[in-house]
Amino acid sequence: MHILFVADPLEHFKIYKDTTFSMMREAQRRGHTLSACEPRDLGWQRGRPVTARARAITLTGDPDAWFSEDAIQERPLHGFDVVLMRKDPPFDAEYIYATHLLEQAEREGARVVNKPRALRDHPEKLAIMEFSEFTTPTLVTRDAAAVRAFHAEHQDIILKPLDGMGGMGIFRVKADALNLGSIVETLNKNGAETIMVQRFVPEISQGDKRVLVIGGQPVPYSLARIPQGTEVRGNLAAGGKGVAQPLTEQDRKIAEAIGPVLNKRGLLLIGLDVIGGSLTEINVTSPTCFQEITEQTGFDVPAMFIDALEAFLKTA
């Protein structure tokens, strides 16, 4: 099959850990053809299908020059066997516009993973609302007074923007409420933007676990991203240490409850963030950690994903 990856610039990939690269490598190993573009390369004109200015690429095996490419060609998206939307957040207006172009391409016959409408319908922080039985106490608001009341009740809280990634903009406020007002003003821009507040889960010291679910089925290992030093954030981008470990009974319970539901909506790959036994986020845009789990456990996550992708194409 011919796969188009819609992703960030290839030149920026850190291939020693990049999940999209691991997908490409496994797909090429099986004989599939690869192309790549960025969201800015998508376009539509009346009377024509949605197209992409796509680079046909081949992986070289050389870490210093990891791909070669043919000339860039403009091609209709429905001419590829599948389009993988792997653009990293932020989930901003341009990302949303890209999903609308991809949804139009679906109407023209393209097969897109994850499904564009499902990407829009499941913002990564807010998607947990549907599954609140698994979450720590959580507040979504732009009201500073509501945040203060939540803090008064729970004493130790985490505040974060709804559009953050990689641990960006996350604050912890303990019982002394030090700088709470300033933090709220910074995050909600004086009431102009909505934020999320959650009761602090002390088990973060044991890791913020990424539980991957592929085709509705959980990968049997999570990657616990463990904060280092005085840092409260476990995100790898914030310096956390990634340690693969078998799923706990609670991890599996959460994954098996959520995975099939979201898979039916067109989310072939999701990443659940679990701290202790609490669900904190549902990642749908470009879940990661394939390489870390594979290298530490021997379980081939990219192979599981390409298996699911091939099965999807047989039924799509």
Catalytic residue (one of 26, 38, 273, 292)? 273
Catalytic residue (one of 160, 188, 199, 251)? 160
Catalytic residue (one of 233, 235, 251, 292)? 233
| Known catalytic membership, residue 283 | yes
Tokens standing for residue 160: 């974060």
Catalytic residue (one of 75, 115, 125, 199)? 125
Residue 45 φ then ψ, to 5°: -140, 140
Tokens standing for residue 45: 């004109």
| Known catalytic membership, residue 209 | no
| Known catalytic membership, residue 179 | no
Catalytic residue (one of 210, 235, 251, 292)? 210
| Known catalytic membership, residue 160 | yes
From first CA to last CA, the distance across the chain in angstroms is 14
Largest CA distance in the chain: 62
Q: Are 295 and 301 in contact (CB under 8 A)?
A: no
Residue type at 124? E
CA dihedral sign of residues 130, 133, 135, 138: positive
Catalytic residue (one of 18, 26, 124, 281)? 281
Tell me the residue length of the chain.
Answer: 316
Rounded CA gap, 143 and 194, in Å? 8
| Known catalytic membership, residue 273 | yes
| Known catalytic membership, residue 281 | yes
Cis amide leading into 246 (omega within 30): no
Q: Are 221 and 246 in contact (CB under 8 A)?
A: yes
Q: Are 103 and 117 in contact (CB under 8 A)?
A: yes
Closest to 194 measured CA to CA, from 117, 138, 133 = 138
- What are the catalytic residues? 125, 160, 210, 225, 233, 273, 281, 283
